[in-house]
């Protein structure tokens, strides 16, 4: 035989055939497949039941909140109408008038007076609100894996907790103001060189400054300072040495990052795949990996999201982003595996911005795994630190089981 | 012009899946396959059982040829059947069942290969997977050559590797192989040529395979 490829592959084929391999046990295979199909069918049924229950609750909530809004509206000059808000709709308010819109997942957006915003898109577990000017208050309905984001100028605020206000006026001294009433948000943008987490009862403001360093392509004033952060949030801000490594990447931002930033997640992941995911896993900055994970999550590519997060943990061990990766891995896992990730986050960031959320979810995860002892321990710890936290009711239930 | 393959090509569409199947003419085979699809859609237990019996061997062979020795072959075969039975209602052309099942096996294998390929840098071994029990070819030289070829194949791009193995080892025609991969014939040929070039290039760098092929690149 003169064809070397054929020779090589013939050797390979012979090796495969000669190798020890048991023929498939049809009985066992059939039983396993039937079992898996039954499990999947019942899981789908459970999901539909939960969805129906959720929709019924959402409808009830809409009725109640509509009634409350009406009652409140009667006593105030700024009635807030609540209605479903489809993707792509622009919403503008005039002086003295606020408007509320409700999303299908139960989350609520309130556009304050003299504001303008648009829901860029809505997905099964979240969406993106583009704030053109003014202030928007978002109350995110808490669900596993849900992610809502507000884009304001060059900034992006991602809801990790539940309730926050983003105020954006491009020509103001301090164009961006983010205040959080409940939970935690992640703020990203030119003033931060990374991700800034802002927790409940904290506020971050970004001041503008006319500077020679202002990028010519950026018409908005360059934000340079961050005010009103608590010591905790300052401590959790990205360390300078971590950010300098990623700074040059911002100048040569790969196109998948641009697509990700503009909300084209599926395209971003495809582009990243074309460029080579391995290269990003190996050479990307920690924030690149978190961004890739975020885009993948929205694009439904959980395999890529997981690998990006795993790479972040492997390469940036001990960093805030690695801890964040543990939290996100926990959020996409369930039961005992989720518990491991949330425990890892709490171990690495015991006083971190997401500590309350992680501890609450740890209680949930242990419950889902059927680990009552650990669930009670986590619940006790939660109630001791956060007696009024969003998971407090769940924690009390766990203690009384 | 495509190079010679190691096995005889067999058309996928109307081929009977199991070696014990009686030889049927095209019309009878088409009728039998269509009847099987209808039975699967009705969840007929006897037909489903027959489906497992007829296709388990084919699926396992396809996976083994594409992935090499694997400890979790049973899990992978299971995944293929779960995906196939869940999606059987989406099969537009019942007569295409054999190729369609092979296509699902190829997709399952591709997912695994892509995962291995991406994780090479995280793993202790260059490929991410080592054949713990590669095989038992008769002589030591053949065994060494087999291991080297296996490692080289795992260094190739998953799409190229699948193209080469489907055509050269599984014996599919260009049309059948491109169909199960969900790509055009010209794209398939391009991947096949690229894969073969890469395979030969890497083989010539390997001491074992250089000896195996002979000094001038010809087989010894």
Q: For the residues of B93-140, what is the DSSP string, one character each?
A: -GGGHHHHHHHHHHHHHHHHHHHHHHTGGGSSSSSS---SS----SSH
Query: What is the structure's pLDDT at B84?
Result: 94
Q: Over range B129-141, report the average pLDDT.
A: 52
* Residue A224 reports pLDDT greater than 60: no
Query: What is the structure's pLDDT at B106?
Result: 92
Task: For residue A329, give how far its alpha carbon lies from the nearest alpha carbon of chain B (Å).
Answer: 18
Question: A15: which chain B residues are within 8 Å (Cβ-Cβ)?
Answer: 134-135, 137, 142-143, 145-146, 149-150
Question: A310: which chain B residues are within 8 Å (Cβ-Cβ)?
Answer: 122
Query: What is the structure's pLDDT at A257?
Result: 82
* Residue B96 reports pLDDT greater than 80: yes
Give the tens place of pLDDT for each residue, B141-185: 777 888 888 888 988 899 999 999 999 888 888 988 998 888 999
Query: What is the structure's pLDDT at A9?
Result: 87
Select the more confidently predicted residue: A246 or A166: A166
Q: Over range A274-294, report the average pLDDT.
A: 86
Neighbours of B120 (CB within 10 A): 15
CB distance from A302 to chain B under 8 Å? no
Band of residue B196 on the pLDDT scale cut at 50, 70, 90:
very high
Rounded distance between C-alpha atoms, residue A21 and residue B69, angstroms: 8
Select the more confidently predicted residue: A292 or B210: A292
Q: Tell me the average pLDDT of chain A.
A: 74
Q: Over range B70-74, report the average pLDDT.
A: 81
* Residue B200 reports pLDDT greater than 80: yes
Band of residue A69 on the pLDDT scale cut at 50, 70, 90:
low
Query: What is the structure's pLDDT at A188?
Result: 75
Give the tens place of pLDDT for each residue, A159-204: 765 678 888 887 777 788 888 877 777 787 767 656 677 776 677 7
- Residue of B54, B69, B78 to mutate for A, most A C-beta atoms under 10 A: B78
Query: What is the structure's pLDDT at A112?
Result: 83
Residue A165 near residue A176, CB atoms below 8 Å = no
Given an 8 Å threshold on Cβ–Cβ distance, is B82 in contact with A4? no
* Residue B1 reports pLDDT greater than 90: no
pTM of the model: 0.42
Question: B48: which chain A residues are within 8 Å (Cβ-Cβ)?
Answer: 30
Band of residue B107 on the pLDDT scale cut at 50, 70, 90:
very high
Helix (H, G, I), strand (E, B) or coil at A199: strand
Task: Give Cβ neighbours of residue A376 (< 8 Å, ≥ 6 apart).
Answer: A398, A399, A401
- Residue of B131, B137, B170, B197 to mutate for A, most A C-beta atoms under 10 A: B137
- Residue of B58, B75, B122 to mutate for A, most A C-beta atoms under 10 A: B122
Q: B12 forms bridges with which residues in the sheet?
A: none
Give the tokens for residue B60: 């396992």
Residue of A214, A212, A188, A186 whose CA lies nearest to A199: A186
Q: Over range A50-65, report the average pLDDT.
A: 75
* % of chain A residues with pLDDT over 70: 73
Residue of A nearest to B217 (CA): A4
* % of chain B residues with pLDDT over 70: 75
* Residue A81 reports pLDDT greater than 50: no
Given an 8 Å threshold on Cβ–Cβ distance, is A19 in contact with B5? no
Select the more confidently predicted residue: A316 or B133: A316
Give the tokens for residue A221: 């004033």
Select the more confidently predicted residue: B7 or B40: B40
Rounded distance between C-alpha atoms, residue A11 and residue B135, angstroms: 12
Name the least confident of A218-227, B47-56, B200-209.
A218-227
Band of residue A227 on the pLDDT scale cut at 50, 70, 90:
very low
Query: What is the structure's pLDDT at B52?
Result: 92
ipTM value for the complex: 0.75
Q: What angle separates helix B97-118 from helix B73-87, to the nearest 10 degrees?
A: 130
* Residue B97 reports pLDDT greater than 80: yes
Q: Over range B108-137, report the average pLDDT.
A: 62
Task: For residue A77, give how far its alpha carbon lies from the nearest alpha carbon of chain B (Å).
Answer: 56
Question: B109: which chain A residues are within 8 Å (Cβ-Cβ)?
Answer: none
Give the tens place of pLDDT for each residue, A33-44: 888 888 888 888
Band of residue B186 on the pLDDT scale cut at 50, 70, 90:
very high
Task: For residue A124, give how far its alpha carbon lies from the nearest alpha carbon of chain B (Å).
Answer: 23
* Residue A65 reports pLDDT greater than 80: no
Band of residue A144 on the pLDDT scale cut at 50, 70, 90:
low
Name the least confident of A59-73, A327-341, A384-398.
A59-73
Query: What is the structure's pLDDT at B6?
Result: 53
CA angle B3, B207, B71 (to 5 degrees): 75
Compare CB distances from A282 to B60, B117, B121 and report the shortest one's residue. B121
Residue of A nearest to B146 (CA): A12
Compare CB distances from A24 to B49, B56, B209 and report the shortest one's residue. B56
CB distance from A68 to chain B under 8 Å? no
Neighbours of A40 (CB within 10 A): 12
Give the tokens for residue A217: 């392509």
Rounded distance between C-alpha atoms, residue A327 and residue A315, angstroms: 16
Q: How many helices (H) and strands (E) does chain A have?
A: 14, 14
Residue of B nearest to A10 (CA): B6
Band of residue A275 on the pLDDT scale cut at 50, 70, 90:
confident
Select the more confidently predicted residue: A165 or B134: A165
Burial of residue A243, with CB atoms counted within 10 A of its CB: 0-12 exposed, 13-18 middle, 19 or more buried: middle
Query: What is the structure's pLDDT at B190?
Result: 94
CA angle A112, A115, A117 (to 5 degrees): 105
Give the tokens for residue A3: 């064809």
Select the more confidently predicted residue: A208 or B199: B199
Compare CB distances from B213 to A4, A10, A28 and report the shortest one's residue. A4
CB distance from A241 to chain B under 8 Å? no
* Residue B60 reports pLDDT greater than 80: yes
Q: Over range B39-65, report the average pLDDT.
A: 89
Rounded distance between C-alpha atoms, residue A78 and residue A247, angstroms: 44
Q: Over range A255-263, report the average pLDDT.
A: 77
* Residue A246 reports pLDDT greater than 80: no
Question: A278: which chain B residues are within 8 Å (Cβ-Cβ)?
Answer: 117-118, 120-121
Residue A273 near residue A281, CB atoms below 8 Å = no
Task: Give Cβ neighbours of residue B161 (< 8 Å, ≥ 6 apart).
Answer: B66, B113, B153, B154, B195
Given an 8 Å threshold on Cβ–Cβ distance, is A5 in contact with B149? no
Name the least confident of A242-256, A353-367, B106-120.
A242-256
Burial of residue B41, with CB atoms counted within 10 A of its CB: 0-12 exposed, 13-18 middle, 19 or more buried: middle
Beta-carbon contacts below 8 Å between A and B = 140
Given an 8 Å threshold on Cβ–Cβ distance, is B4 in contact with A32? no
Query: What is the structure's pLDDT at A171?
Result: 74
Select the more confidently predicted residue: A239 or A331: A331
CA angle B141, B147, B149 (to 5 degrees): 100
* E strand residue ranges, A278-372: none
Select the more confidently predicted residue: A74 or A210: A74
Give the tokens for residue A150: 């507000």
Helix ranges restricted to H, B42-96? 45-67, 73-87
Give the tens place of pLDDT for each residue, A46-56: 888 778 777 87
From residue A325, give the alpha-carbon distance in Å to each of A99, A169, A207, A252. Answer: 36, 32, 30, 24
Task: For residue A22, give how far its alpha carbon lies from the nearest alpha carbon of chain B (Å).
Answer: 10
Question: A25: which chain B residues are within 8 Å (Cβ-Cβ)?
Answer: 74
* Residue B133 reports pLDDT greater than 60: no
Given an 8 Å threshold on Cβ–Cβ distance, is A13 in contact with B6? yes
Q: A102 forms bridges with which residues in the sheet?
A: A84, A108
* Residue B77 reports pLDDT greater than 90: yes
């Amino acid at each position: 035989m003169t064809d070397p490829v054929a020779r090589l592959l013939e050797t390979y084929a012979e090796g495969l055939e000669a190798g020890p391999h048991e023929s498939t046990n049809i009985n066992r295979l059939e039983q396993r497949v039937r079992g898996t199909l039954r499990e999947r069918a019942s899981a789908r049924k459970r999901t539909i039941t939960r969805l129906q229950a959720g929709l019924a609750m959402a409808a009830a909530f809409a009725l109640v909140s509509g009634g409350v809004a009406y009652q409140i509206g009667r006593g105030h000059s700024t009635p807030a109408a609540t209605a479903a808000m489809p993707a792509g709709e622009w919403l503008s308010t005039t002086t003295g008038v606020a408007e509320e819109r409700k999303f299908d997942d139960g989350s609520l957006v309130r556009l304050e007076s003299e504001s303008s915003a648009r829901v860029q898109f809505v997905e099964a577990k979240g969406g993106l609100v583009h704030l053109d000017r003014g202030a928007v208050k978002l109350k995110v309905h808490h669900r596993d894996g849900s992610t809502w984001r507000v884009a304001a100028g060059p900034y992006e605020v991602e809801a990790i907790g539940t309730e926050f206000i983003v105020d954006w006026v491009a020509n103001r001294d301090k164009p961006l103001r983010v205040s959080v009433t409940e939970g935690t948000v992640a703020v990203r943008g030119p003033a931060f060189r990374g991700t800034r987490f802002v927790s409940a009862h904290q506020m971050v403001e970004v001041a503008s400054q006319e500077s020679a360093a202002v990028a010519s392509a950026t018409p908005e004033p360059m934000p340079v300072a961050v005010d009103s952060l608590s010591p905790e949030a300052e401590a959790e801000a990205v360390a300078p040495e971590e950010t300098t490594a990623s700074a040059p990447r911002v100048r040569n931002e790969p196109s998948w990052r641009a697509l990700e930033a503009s909300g084209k997640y599926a395209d971003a992941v495809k582009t990243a795949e074309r460029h080579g995911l391995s290269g990003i896993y190996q050479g990307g900055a920690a924030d690149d990996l978190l961004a890739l994970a975020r885009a993948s999550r929205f694009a439904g590519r959980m395999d890529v999201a997981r690998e990006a997060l795993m790479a972040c943990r492997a390469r940036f061990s001990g960093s805030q982003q690695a801890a964040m990766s543990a939290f996100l891995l926990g959020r996409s896992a369930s039961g005992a595996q989720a518990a491991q990730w949330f425990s890892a986050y709490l171990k690495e960031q015991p006083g971190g911005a997401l500590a309350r959320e992680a501890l609450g979810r740890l209680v949930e995860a242990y419950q889902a795994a059927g680990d009552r002892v650990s669930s009670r321990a986590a619940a006790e710890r939660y109630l001791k630190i956060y007696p009024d936290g969003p998971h407090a009711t769940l924690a009390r239930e766990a203690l009384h089981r | 012009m495509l190079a010679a393959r190691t096995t005889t090509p067999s058309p996928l569409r109307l081929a009977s899946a199991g070696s014990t199947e009686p030889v049927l003419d095209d019309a009878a085979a088409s009728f039998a396959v269509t009847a099987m699809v209808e039975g699967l859609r009705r969840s007929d237990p006897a037909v489903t059982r027959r489906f497992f019996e007829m296709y388990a061997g084919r699926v396992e062979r396809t996976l083994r040829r594409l992935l090499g020795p694997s400890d979790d072959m049973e899990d992978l075969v299971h995944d293929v059947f779960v995906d196939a039975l869940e999606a059987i209602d989406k099969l537009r052309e019942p007569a295409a069942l054999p190729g369609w099942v092979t296509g699902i096996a190829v997709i399952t294998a591709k997912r695994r290969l892509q995962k291995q390929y991406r994780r090479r840098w995280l793993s202790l071994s260059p490929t991410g997977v080592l054949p713990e029990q590669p095989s038992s070819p008769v002589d030591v030289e053949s065994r060494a050559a087999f291991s080297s070829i296996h490692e080289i194949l795992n260094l190739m791009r998953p799409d190229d590797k699948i193209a080469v193995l489907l055509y050269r080892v599984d014996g599919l025609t260009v049309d059948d192989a491109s169909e199960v991969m969900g790509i055009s014939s010209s794209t398939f040929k391009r991947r096949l040529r690229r894969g073969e070039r890469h395979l030969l290039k890497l083989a010539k760098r390997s001491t074992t395979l250089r000896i195996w092929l002979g000094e001038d690149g010809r087989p010894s």
